[in-house]
Structure 1
């Protein structure tokens, strides 16, 4: 009887954690996104930043179980600034190859794209049943 109660309690706790991520609205947004808007729209092509002076500013929008872009292109050697904007649910943004892990809505990370090739980015906050689908590629040309 105790084992059964323990299993049920664990299942309820896991379900609550899974639903707390993607399933809810992020109504606690305090407007801390300080992105200056060097790029607008969906960054589906090469990000040129401010006059392509070797830097890119990218805003990634996250909603339940998807990012607004599947691929982000930058040039090798560019300095890249990524801002995460949660539009629905609570998500993170990580690129393991560049030690990037943004966990706050409006949070930013900066790195130098010094490794050519394709680098996977993914949601870094467990956000529910579609969490594993939240992936894309940073392509460094």
Structure 2
């Protein structure tokens, strides 16, 4: 009798394991650069409700065409780089830009997102 119960438990555990393996595996990461036009690089900025961007500094080369993409990890945010006339928010969350002026530029949140909004800043370095 005990062997039969152990056999049933073993079969159940095996079926549960197969189910979890098949249906609970995380999705493969997507190549976000796939489909970009030739000569265009991706600069992804991730914003969160911790009132920070994912990096304190972003670097690009002068003259390089960049697809600037904003991803809101949590909350609703925007990015503004005033010197280049960039303001991504709402339905417009990406823009192709050629950064032609070397220097250091401030990236700030352009959507009033809460009490930490004024400190939500990063830096773009165009080399």
- TM class by shorter chain equals 0.5 to 0.7
Structure 2, unpaired ranges of 5+: 1-29
Q: How many residues align?
A: 95
2:108 aligned with 1:122: yes
Structure 1, unpaired ranges of 5+: 1-34, 40-49
Q: Secondary structure at the match of 2:105?
A: strand
Look up the match of 1:55: 40
* Contact 1:101-1:109 within 8 A present in 2 as well: no
2:116 aligned with 1:136: no
Tell me, in whole angstroms, the C-alpha distance in 1 between the residues paired with 2:32 and 2:118. 29
Tell me, in whole angstroms, the C-alpha distance in 2 between the residues paired with 1:86 and 1:105. 12
* Contact 1:60-1:82 within 8 A present in 2 as well: yes
Moved over 4 A (4+): none
Alignment of 1:17-36 (within 5 A): none
What displacement does 1:105 show?
A: 6.5
**TM-score, length-normalised on structure 1?**
0.61
**99-108 or 131-140, which deviates more:** 99-108
Look up the match of 2:94: 108
Change (3 A) 1:66 1:105: farther
* Contact 1:63-1:87 within 8 A present in 2 as well: yes
Change (3 A) 1:88 1:106: farther
2:83 aligned with 1:97: yes
Q: Secondary structure at the match of 1:114?
A: coil
* Contact 1:103-1:125 within 8 A present in 2 as well: yes
